[in-house]
């Protein structure tokens, strides 16, 4: 049995096909197209569809059941967030995916995208909440937008500098090293609470942090699951029929 999972974020949309819980294909698009979706449904004999979106509704006419993921959807974990209606659906899906993959353990999910989110789910499958921080590109853009003279810079080729010898390098150093210290601090905090906590990286900038953190003292406890949100959404649509 095949599921179609659609996750629309701030930058692009991911379209994933799961067959018997196995991820078989992912497509990234700038905008959804009804004809393309119909072709995928037919090609993979899709039986169920789930979608989550931060910015648009799903109004395509497809001859299969469609589940809109929101805070009222039945989920396989306990959500302890006090304002579930304001919780980002990607955050919720990520911890569901983490709990599905790594049962009976505390997990810190770090989703490095437009923002960086830190979300904790315990071994009892209780989602406790988390933290939201500006991501890499947002920090670069903010320093340019809210000052009179600072230029807009990007990561550049040399991302291993600790201090800059020019304004561009100083901006790069501040953002990159500041985020590394921030992420490392969160990891250390949760490991102090429980040394067996698993740390899972996902999101568009996960690979950037993965290479740096895996050279750190946390290396043996850091896992990278770039498709964690999709895995969580697939678990949710299957859970409706469990």
Over residues 124-155, the pLDDT tens digits come to: 999 999 999 999 999 999 999 999 899 999 88
Q: Which residue among the candidates 21, 36, 59, 90 is catalytic per the annotation?
A: 90
Question: What is the length of the chain?
Answer: 242
Q: What is the pLDDT of residue 236?
A: 97
The fraction of the chain above a pLDDT of 70, given in percent, is: 95
Over residues 22-64, the pLDDT tens digits come to: 999 999 988 888 888 999 999 999 999 999 987 767 778 888 9
Q: What is the pLDDT of residue 215?
A: 67
User: How crowded is residue 180: how many other Cβ atoms within 10 Å of its Cβ?
Assistant: 15
The overall pTM is greater than 0.75: yes
Which domains does the chain show, CATH number per domain?
2-68 (3.30.420.40), 78-230 (3.30.420.40)
Query: Which of 76-85, 149-158, 209-218 shows the lowest per-residue confidence on average (mean pLDDT)?
Result: 209-218
In the predicted model, what is the mean pLDDT of the chain? 90
Q: What is the pLDDT of residue 9?
A: 80
Active site residue 227: no
120-124: long-range contacts, CB 8 A cutoff, minimum separation 24: 120/95, 120/190, 121/77, 121/95, 124/78
Indicate if the pLDDT at residue 12 is higher than 90: no
């Amino acid at each position: 049995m095949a599921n179609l999972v659609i996750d629309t974020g701030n930058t692009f949309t991911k379209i994933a096909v799961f067959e018997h819980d196995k991820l078989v294909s992912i497509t990234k698009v700038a905008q959804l197209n009804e004809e393309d979706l119909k072709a995928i449904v037919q090609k993979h004999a899709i039986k169920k569809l789930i979608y989550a979106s931060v910015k648009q509704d799903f109004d395509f006419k497809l001859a299969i059941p469609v589940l809109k993921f929101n805070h009222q959807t039945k989920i396989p974990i306990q959500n302890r967030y006090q304002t579930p209606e304001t919780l980002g659906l990607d955050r919720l899906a990520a911890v569901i995916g983490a709990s599905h993959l790594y049962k009976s353990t505390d997990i810190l999910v770090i989703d490095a995208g437009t923002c960086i989110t830190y979300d904790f789910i315990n071994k009892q499958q209780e989602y406790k909440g988390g933290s939201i921080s500006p991501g890499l590109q947002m920090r670069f853009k903010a320093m340019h937008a809210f000052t009179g003279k600072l230029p807009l810079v990007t990561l550049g080729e040399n991302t291993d500098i600790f201090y800059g010898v020019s304004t561009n390098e100083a901006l790069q150093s501040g953002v990159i090293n500041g985020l590394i210290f921030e992420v490392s601090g969160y990891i250390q905090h949760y490991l102090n609470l429980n040394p067996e906590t698993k740390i899972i990286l996902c999101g568009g900038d996960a690979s950037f942090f993965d290479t740096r953190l895996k050279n750190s003292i946390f290396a043996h406890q850091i896992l990278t699951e770039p498709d964690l949100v999709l895995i969580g959404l697939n678990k949710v649509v299957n859970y409706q029929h469990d």
